[in-house]
Structure 1
Amino acid sequence: MLIIIAGVVLLIVGVIVSLFGGGGHEAAEGAAAAHGATAAHGAVAAGHGGGEHHSSAPWLKRIIVSLWHNNVFFTGVSAIGTVFMAIQYVAYAGWSVVVKRINEALSAWLVPGLVIMLVVFGLNFINYDLFHWTVPGIMDKGNANYDAIIAGKSGFLNIPFYVIRMVVYLGLWIYFTKRLRDLSLSEDLNGGTAYFHKSINVSALFLVFYAVTSSMSAWDWVMSVDVHWFSTMFGWYVFASWWVSGIAAVTLCAILLKQAGYLPLLKDGHLHDLGKFMFGFSIFWTYLWFSQFMLIWYANMPEESVYFNQRLGGFNGQYTWLFYSNLAINFVFPFLVLMTRDAKRQMIMLKIVSIAILIGHWSDFYLMFMPGTMKGENGFIIEIGIALIFLGSFLILMTKRLAQASLTPIHHPFLDESVHHTT
């Protein structure tokens, strides 16, 4: 609750600063944004048309964009709890049983995530601050707002189909999450191996659906913000960010529970494996980051390079420092700190790296959303305030679910293997 209160205070302070202390600053930022946008888009902007539309006041626009940014981040991380658990089932993995309840609790945000996503998508229509492709007339030839490139995507990017996809993605994730949770609790009550085998079948089906919907959700929720730009690697890139953040969240929660005396069966071997996951998938995220960046840089095609031009030098260099910090905190730091075996078994090192990864990938999503929406009018006080409100709410739901069942799945057939796990 204190986290939520701190977030509300920061949000109020940020709005006040934007309203009363940012008059000249906002004007300067607006000029910088116009300059940056012109430099970044160049020939691309000249070719496809599209009229300007009036946007909301900067403070309101920042709130709407930040609500979307944080909800996409926390919803994606929440889904990883189910994904991780499903992978353990289909792999017949035994080591992770002692952290199984943490993964189940991590997915508690999916239902509110769907509700918030629908509400914030509705807020977009106040002044079309999030998705340029929703501006009236933008797909109608002859209209002042007409954009030929966006009109060419109308079969996929139209409001009814977009909302249907959103509900289907999250509806499937919620259904399979609830199904696996129900089977897990029934196993606790009744014992036997029947629930375990049913969970394997459910997990296999879920992973097939998730493999498709996770990439498509990245196109819808993130990439369509920069509607003229596209990358065939973007779905994997967003998933990698969600995945390593989810593992970091599980690791941090496991350590905190262990230190509070609630998870006595958690041993150094479990921490070592979680540390290896964070280490390995930080490298995997970097591989995708570099592959996407290198190919776009090497080809140097205006319709592709505009994305990185905005983040590296556009808007008067507003995002340049964050671009490089993103790589440092999400790759260099975990790579160097977790390189040794001992580091992966020390709680203090894993706590520091987990927190750094969560902050780093929240910043990664910030970098995905802000240049395409706020241009040069971005900030951090409002954004961090909303992030703290989401974090506090997320923790309330997660801890509530943790308290609803034993932290040890007592009748899981691989519990003994997990208890005696060593690395």
Structure 2
Amino acid sequence: MTAENFNFNAGLKKKIVTLGVVGVVLLILGIIILIFSGGGDHAAEAAHGAQAAHGGGHSEFHWYDRLYTSLWINNVFFTGLGVIGLFFVALQYASQAGWSAGIKRIPEAFGAWLPFAGILMLVVFLVGGHTIFHWTHEYLYDESDPRYDAIIAGKRGYLNTPFFLIRMAIYFGVWYWMYRLIRKESLAEDLNGGVTHYHKMVKYSTIFIVFFAITSSTSAWDWTLSIDTHWFSTMYGWYNFASWFVSGLAAITLCVVILRENGYITIVSSEHLHDLGKFVFAFSIFWAYIWFGQFLLIYYANIPEETIYFLERLESDYYSPFFFGTLILNFFFPFLVLMTRDSKRHTIFLKMVCVVVMVGQWLNFYLMITPGILKENGSLGFVELGTTMIYLAGFLFVVLNNLSKAPLVAKNHPMLQESIHHHT
């Protein structure tokens, strides 16, 4: 078949750069508003109350604490999109699926974000780690200090800065290394054909899935669970994975639909869209199942050190709307809209659901991260919007640039004909 390439033209680049520039302007505007609004004084009063209730912490909150929080939310969210793109490709090879052969280049391109995600994660931790992670303060481990925390001190074998950074390097190092191996074989297959490269990709994909099965949980413990250092949940790794996976599926589906509408990947039919829609539909239910399972276990056990996590979010006038709103956006809306067969085949419904799910999951990570850092000082404004737009622009630029460097359809994939004639 004729090679089909994505044209990452100057006009599209200009739009993405404009998105990023607008994000920078909004971020600066948001910071100026925070500085001159006197919000820091109000935050300080609330912080003193939080300090008394939790046995230590920041003496006050500043505008940059809000910035670090927003940066960390986007680090975690967009890292998830990158690694789930690779996981989706690996899943197709490990299961020897044929239907997705014609669209695999889209999720494959997501993996190109991983090195940038790793650098951003490291920089934000080094600059704002003390704000984001309470356990990084040395006084918590000094028994002679009145702010000593026996619970956090008991976790020091795992929660300490050197080991945290080592784990971060391992996560991103291995994820990106596996991405490069799979990507290399994928491009070589385009040139050489045959099944040698395919079998190598099956092997690499299987190894990656096993590694990701572990690190998807441990990275969740590190990057989000440890923010609420006293709290723990045995289902948290699964919950974070479910959030990442449905976000990634929504992003992949949205990209496929938009590319198809713009005349690319012409082999994609309503059958492929139907399968992608089923993925988004099924894993929005899976996310809700994990959400409810975690909540129910903690609710009926009614142990104070477990229930505090949900009480902080349910009893807050600010956070409680997000608590229930994420359920509507991430479960009820996609469930009701994508319930019928036809809705999964119409691009208008797919685009609408995918955008809503991605916004809903961003808000889900916002709710997972913000209360543990800013307590009652959380807010959504220009700082959060601007930061997210900057990250989105960076992610789109990297992914689309990667997408333009290889044919959109892997022409020598041994199961390409199965994908072309796919029918459900």
> Which TM-score applies when normalising by structure 1?
0.93
Does residue 54 of structure 1 match 2:55? no
Partner of 2:266: 264
Distance (whole Å) between structure 2 residues aligned to residue 104 and residue 339 of structure 1: 28
AA of the residue aligned to 1:166: M
Shift of 1:30: 5.1
AA of the residue aligned to 1:398: V
SS in 1 for 2:263: coil
Structure 2: tracts of 5 or more residues without a match: 1-16
Partner of 2:18: 2
Partner of 2:383: 382
Distance (whole Å) between structure 1 residues aligned to residue 299 and residue 218 of structure 2: 25
Q: How does 1:154-169 map to 2 (within 5 A)?
A: 154-169=156-171
Distance (whole Å) between structure 1 residues aligned to residue 333 and residue 103 of structure 2: 25
Shift of 1:37: 7.9
Distance (whole Å) between structure 2 residues aligned to residue 293 and residue 35 of structure 1: 27
| Shift in alpha-carbon separation, 1:310–1:36, aligned structure 2, 3 A | farther
AA of the residue aligned to 1:353: V
List per-residue Cα deviations over 1:236-294 (Å, max 9, x = no partner): 00000000000100000001110111111110000000000000000000000001111
Does residue 196 of structure 1 match 2:198? yes
Q: How does 1:118-133 map to 2 (within 5 A)?
A: 118-125=122-129, 128-133=130-135
Paired residues, number: 407
CA contact (8 A) 2:47 2:58 kept: no
SS in 2 for 1:99: coil
Shift of 1:211: 0.2
CA contact (8 A) 1:103 1:250 kept: yes
CA contact (8 A) 2:48 2:59 kept: no
User: Sequence identity of aligned pairs in percent?
Assistant: 50
SS in 2 for 1:186: helix
Distance (whole Å) between structure 2 residues aligned to residue 137 and residue 18 of structure 1: 29
| Shift in alpha-carbon separation, 1:35–1:300, aligned structure 2, 3 A | farther
Match of 2:110 among 99, 106, 119: 106
CA contact (8 A) 2:77 2:365 kept: yes
Distance (whole Å) between structure 2 residues aligned to residue 174 and residue 324 of structure 1: 36
Distance (whole Å) between structure 1 residues aligned to residue 25 and residue 357 of structure 2: 25
SS in 1 for 2:229: coil
Does residue 400 of structure 1 match 2:416? no
Partner of 2:327: 327
Partner of 1:348: 348
Q: How does 1:298-337 map to 2 (within 5 A)?
A: 298-314=300-316, 317-337=317-337
| Comparing 197-206 and 371-380, the one that deviates more | 371-380
Shift of 1:137: 2.3
CA contact (8 A) 1:30 1:376 kept: no
Distance (whole Å) between structure 2 residues aligned to residue 35 and residue 309 of structure 1: 16
AA of the residue aligned to 2:285: I
| Comparing 289-298 and 278-287, the one that deviates more | 289-298
SS in 1 for 2:398: helix
SS in 1 for 2:234: coil
Distance (whole Å) between structure 1 residues aligned to residue 186 and residue 254 of structure 2: 23
Shift of 1:52: 3.7
AA of the residue aligned to 1:344: K
Match of 1:208 among 202, 207, 210: 210
CA contact (8 A) 2:48 2:60 kept: no
Shift of 1:142: 1.5
CA contact (8 A) 2:25 2:386 kept: yes
List per-residue Cα deviations over 1:363-387 (Å, max 9, x = no partner): 0000011100011222222011101
CA contact (8 A) 2:61 2:374 kept: no
C-alpha RMSD over aligned residues:
1.5
Distance (whole Å) between structure 1 residues aligned to residue 128 and residue 296 of structure 2: 33
Partner of 1:187: 189
Partner of 2:31: 15
Shift of 1:36: 7.4
Partner of 1:365: 365
Shift of 1:217: 0.2
SS in 2 for 1:97: coil
CA contact (8 A) 1:36 1:310 kept: no
AA of the residue aligned to 1:391: L
Structure 1: tracts of 5 or more residues without a match: none
